[in-house]
């Protein structure tokens, strides 16, 4: 048994059982991968993959039982390396954070500023992406910390820890009729074209749910990944914007003052932003520091005990 074999198996599962792809990902030849897998299967005495003809199509029952152990082994190997880095590189290192646009733009800056001040030797890398991409980055190790408002913890191998709660605001040009005639209701809102976030982003689901529950089907004329784009089109009069309050709260002189924000916490469900990390994955000390800077209740102990808690698909027997 060796790590290359384990890597081949893990990657084969991740890449949908296409060994050619696996070979590219692992920077090796395809027959090599094929051999690694077969050798591990021989040594363990079980067929891990279902073979239809000469093609791999899925995991066998033993394969399903064995896979969690394979992943844990590889995870632990990385943890071992990371544990040593703490000594070899001291306070220096790279911290890779994956976040959605809203987080990167509005929530993270103060945490990043504070963190940079206390950890001058840590190189920060900020990746932007959709929640799915963030989850992927965490799993592949591209990112150490993921931050998003959308359930990142659907994967059993990630842990999401709630950071803070927030609500939406409605944004309109300053002369918009919605601003007159009393409080804004969902019904009134639905009469105007809506501009908001892309599906699966920044509390979009709570917007859809609210309208859905009220039996309303507003016309959503434009969706975007980020609040700034939304604001721009609201300003152009394309429609009414619905976005995270935080995107309006601050005093960014960047966005034109012609816009008016109306608190909409009573219209849409409360959203929660979480940080996510790999379950069972050791982080460098400064990564825990960053999380703590971002959300002060998330101390190293809290995060670690959450990471240690077993997930759905822990290594377990049949």
Partner DNA sequence: TATCCTTACGGAATTCGTAAGCATG
Partner DNA sequence: CATGCTTACGAATTCCGTAAGGATA
Q: Which residues lie near a copy of itself (CB under 8 A)?
A: 1-3, 44-46, 61-62, 65-66, 69-70, 72-73, 76-77, 79-81, 83-88, 282, 285, 304, 308, 310, 314-318
188 lines the binding site for DNA (CB under 7 A): no
Closest by CA to 145, choosing from 98, 82, 81, is 98
Pairwise CA distance, residues 107 & 127, whole Å: 14
Q: For residue 177, what is the DSSP state?
A: G
Say if residues 239 and 195 touch (Cβ distance below 8 Å). yes
- Binder of residue 53, out of DNA, a copy of itself, none (CB less than 5 to 8 A by kind): DNA
Question: DSSP readout, 240-303?
Answer: EEEEETHHHHS--TTS-TTEEEEE-TTTS--EEEEEEEETT----HHHHHHHHHHSTT--HHHH
Rounded to the nearest whole angstrom, what is the least distance from the CB of residue 200 to a copy of itself in the complex?
34
- With tokens 């590189």, the residue in question is 89
- Binder of residue 45, out of a copy of itself, DNA, none (CB less than 5 to 8 A by kind): a copy of itself
- Binder of residue 66, out of a copy of itself, DNA, none (CB less than 5 to 8 A by kind): a copy of itself
Going by C-beta distance under 8 Å and a sequence separation of 6 or more, which residues neighbour residue 82? 282, 283, 284
- Binder of residue 84, out of DNA, a copy of itself, none (CB less than 5 to 8 A by kind): a copy of itself
- Binder of residue 308, out of DNA, a copy of itself, none (CB less than 5 to 8 A by kind): a copy of itself
Nearest residue (CB) to DNA, 35 versus 127? 35
233 burial via Cβ count (<10 Å: 0-12, 13-18, 19+):
middle
**Residue 47-76 contact track with DNA, rule CB under 7 A, x = bound:** ----xxxxxx--------------------
- Binder of residue 18, out of a copy of itself, DNA, none (CB less than 5 to 8 A by kind): DNA
**Residue count at the site for DNA (CB under 7 A)?**
23
Q: Which range of residues in 24-32, 85-93, 189-197, 283-291 is near DNA by CB under 7 A?
A: 24-32
Q: For residue 198, what is the DSSP state?
A: P
14 lines the binding site for DNA (CB under 7 A): no
Going by C-beta distance under 8 Å and a sequence separation of 6 or more, which residues neighbour residue 127? 96, 97, 98, 99, 134, 137, 142, 143
Nearest residue (CB) to DNA, 57 versus 191? 57
Rounded to the nearest whole angstrom, what is the least distance from the CB of residue 243 to a copy of itself in the complex?
39
Name the token pair of 70.
Answer: 């394979």
20 lines the binding site for DNA (CB under 7 A): yes
Pairwise CA distance, residues 174 & 153, whole Å: 39
Which residues bind to DNA, rule: CB under 7 A?
Answer: 2, 4, 17-20, 27-32, 34-38, 51-56
């Amino acid at each position: 048994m060796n790590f290359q074999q384990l890597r081949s198996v893990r990657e084969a599962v991740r890449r949908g059982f296409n060994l050619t792809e696996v070979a590219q990902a692992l920077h090796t030849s395809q027959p090599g991968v094929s051999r690694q897998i077969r050798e591990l299967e021989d040594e363990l005495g079980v067929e891990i993959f279902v073979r239809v003809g000469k093609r791999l199509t899925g995991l066998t029952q033993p394969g399903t039982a064995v896979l969690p152990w394979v992943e844990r082994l590889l995870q632990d190997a990385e943890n071992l390396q990371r544990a040593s880095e703490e000594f070899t590189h001291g306070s220096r290192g790279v911290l890779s954070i994956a976040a959605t646009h809203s987080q990167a733009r509005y929530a993270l800056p103060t945490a990043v500023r504070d963190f940079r001040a206390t950890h001058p030797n840590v190189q920060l890398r900020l990746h932007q992406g959709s929640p799915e991409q963030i989850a992927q980055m965490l799993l592949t190790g591209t990112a150490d910390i993921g931050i998003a408002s959308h359930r990142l913890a659907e994967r059993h191998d990630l842990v999401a820890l709630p950071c803070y709660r927030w609500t939406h605001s409605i944004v309109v040009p300053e002369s918009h009729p919605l601003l007159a005639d009393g409080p804004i209701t969902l019904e009134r809102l639905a009469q105007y074209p809506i501009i908001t976030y892309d599906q699966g982003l920044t509390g979009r689901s709570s917007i859809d749910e609210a309208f859905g529950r009220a039996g309303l089907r507003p016309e959503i004329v434009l969706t975007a990944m980020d609040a700034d784009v939304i604001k721009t089109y609201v300003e152009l009069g394309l429609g009414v914007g619905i976005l995270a309050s935080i995107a309006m709260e601050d005093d960014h002189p960047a966005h034109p003052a012609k816009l008016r924000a109306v608190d909409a916490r009573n219209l849409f469900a409360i959203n929660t932003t979480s940080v996510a990390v790999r379950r069972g994955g050791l982080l460098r000390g400064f990564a825990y520091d960053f999380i703590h800077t971002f959300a002060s209740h998330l101390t190293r102990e809290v995060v670690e005990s959450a990471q240690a808690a077993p997930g759905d698909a822990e290594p377990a027997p049949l």
